Amino acid sequence: MDRSDLSEPLYALEAHRTDMGEATIAGLFAKDPRRFADFHVALDDILFDFSKHRVDRTTLALLLDLARAAKLEERRAALFAGDIVNPTEHRPALHMALRNMRGAPMRAAGVDVMPEVLAERRKMLAFAEDVRNGRTRGATGQTFTDVVNIGIGGSDLGPAMAAEALSPFIAPHLKLHFVANVDGADLADTLKDLALERTLFVVCSKTFTTLETMTNAAAARKAVVAKLGEAAVAAQFCAVSTAQKEVAAFGIAEDRRFRFWDWVGGRYSVWSSIGLSLAVGIGAAHFEEFLRGGETIDRHFVEAPLARNVPVLMALIEIWYRNFWDYAVQAIIPYDRRLRRFPAYLQQLEMESNGKSVDLAGTPIESATGAILFGEPGTNAQHAFFQLFHQGTEIVPVDFLVAAAPTAADPDQHRLLLANCLAQSEALMRGRTQTEVETRMRALGASEAETAALAPHKTFAGNRPSGTFLLRQLSPCVLGELIALYEHKVFVQSVIWNIDPFDQWGVELGKELASGLAPLVAGKNAPLDKLDSSTAGLIAQLRKWT
C-alpha cells in the first residue's frame, strides 16, 4: 500500500507489526482481564467478539487512523448520498434503498428513488403472497407447489442461500429450487420430479441476455410449451430484469414482470425483486423482516462511532492480516447447516468486489487486495480442513457464526454444536505446547519412548486468530443483519485499498471467449488454426469423442 496520503498511518502500522513480534493472543488475554469486555460489540441480535484476534488497543487505534486518513467517513457519506461510487460504470450503488423501510428519500443522480422502490416492492410482495396463498395459479388452474428460480451469480447465490438459511419459515406446501449452471444436468435434475403445471419459473437476469440464465430459461420454456402449450408460458413464468422489452418478447405478462435498477449490483440484489422466490417461500411479512435486518445495520454503519462500528472493525482486522501479516486466506465457518451456502455467497460478495489490481484511477496497486474466502459448516469442517488450521504452515483467520438458540432443531444437539464452536476458537488461540503434550501422555501411561516420538505430532502452535458472531437466533431479521454487515465490510476495505468494489470486469473475458468458442465446439469442420495449441488440441479431441 503506497498511497502518499496514507503514508504516516501505514508506517505506524508497519512499525507496530514489528513491535508485536512474538506476542500471542493468549498472552494478550493474560495481560488484560477486561479484554473480552473491550473487544466485543453487542448489537440487539448479534454479538461480535473480536477478542481472539491478533490485535491490541494500539492496533485498533492505528487501524482507525488509517481509515480516517483514507477518508472513510466521507466515502461512506458519498455512498449513501447516491454519488457515483462505481466510476467504471458511472453508477451509484444504492442497494441500501432496497431495504429502506421508512421510505426516507434516497437519491441517485439527484432523483429520489424511493417512490419507485416502494411501488415495486409492493407489487412484488403482493404477487408473492398471491402465489403463496393460491390466488395466482398456473395455466391449468392448479395452485403452485414448486418455484424454480433461474439465474446465476447474485441472481442465484443470494436467494438460494437465503432460502436454505430460512427454510423453517418456508410454507410447507411449497418447495423452492434454484438452477444456475449452464450444464443441462442442473435443470434436468431439477425438473425430472416436478409437475410443470404446478411449477412457477422465476427468470432472474438484469439484462435478460446472460448466457447461462437464458439458456436454462429457454430450455424450461421449451419443456412447458411441449407439455402445456405456448399459451401456458404467460401463466407459468415471471421475470426479474431491467430489460422489459426482452422480457415481453419471451412471453411474460406485464403483471409478472418485476424490475430492479442499474444502481443495484447483482451480488447486492437479493433485497430487490431478485428475492421474489424467497418472498414466495417465506411470505411478505418475513421478507420485510429480512429487509429490516439490513436496514438496522445500515443505520449502525452510518451512526456508530468507528471504534464501535462492526463492519468497520471487521474490515480493518482483515486489512491488518492481509496487508501487514500476509495472510491471504480467510475462512467462514457457520455452525449451522442451514447457513452452508453462506460462505459461497460471501465468496462472490468479497472476491468479486475486491479482487482488483488497479485503483480508482486505473493505476496498478502494489499491495495485496481481497483475500481468498472459503468455508463449510461446522462440525463437518472440523473433520475436513481444520487440521490445516491447527497445525498447518498457513495461518487462516476464521469467522465463526453460531446461534444461541436453535431454529427448528433439537436443543440438546444444539448445545453440543455450541460447545464445538467455542472449543474450536479456544483451541486455535491456545494451542497445546510440547511440554503439555508430554505431561498429558505420561499421565495416560505412555512410555518415555512413545512420548518422545509422538509429542511433536500432537503439539499445536496456537496463536491462530478468529472472531465469533454469536446470533440470538437465525431469523429473517438476523440473516438480513449478517448480510449487510459483510456488505459494508467489503465497502470499507475498498476505501482503504482505493478500488471500485461495484464493478466486475474480470467476469467478462471468459464470457466473451466462451461465445467465440461455442460454435467451434459444436461444429465438426470449423478451422482451429487461430487458437492456441492447447485449446485447439482439446477441441480436436472433443470432436473425436462426440
Q: Residues with catalytic annotation? A: 352, 383, 511
Residues 427 and 459: their CA atoms lie apart, in Å, by 12
SS3 content of the chain, % helix, strand, coil (to 5): 55, 10, 30
361 phi and psi angles, rounded to 5 deg:
-90, 0
- The CB density around residue 414, as the number of other CB atoms within 10 Å, is 18
Q: Kindly tell me the burial class for residue 228, based on how many C-beta atoms sit within 10 Å of its own C-beta (0-12, 13-18, 19 or more).
A: middle
Residues 529 and 534: their CA atoms lie apart, in Å, by 11
DSSP 480-545: HHHHHHHHHHHHHHHHHHT--TT--GGGHHHHHHHHHHHHHHH-SS---TTS-HHHHHHHHHHHHH
- The CB density around residue 363, as the number of other CB atoms within 10 Å, is 11
Cell of residue 117, nine digits:
422502490
DSSP 247-289: HHHHT--GGGEE---TTS-GGG-TTTGGGHHHHHHH-HHHHHH
Residues 195 and 173: their CA atoms lie apart, in Å, by 14
Residues 348 and 228: their CA atoms lie apart, in Å, by 37
Which residues are paired to 178 by β-bridges?
149
Residue 23 makes CB contacts below 8 A (sequence gap 6+) with 54, 56
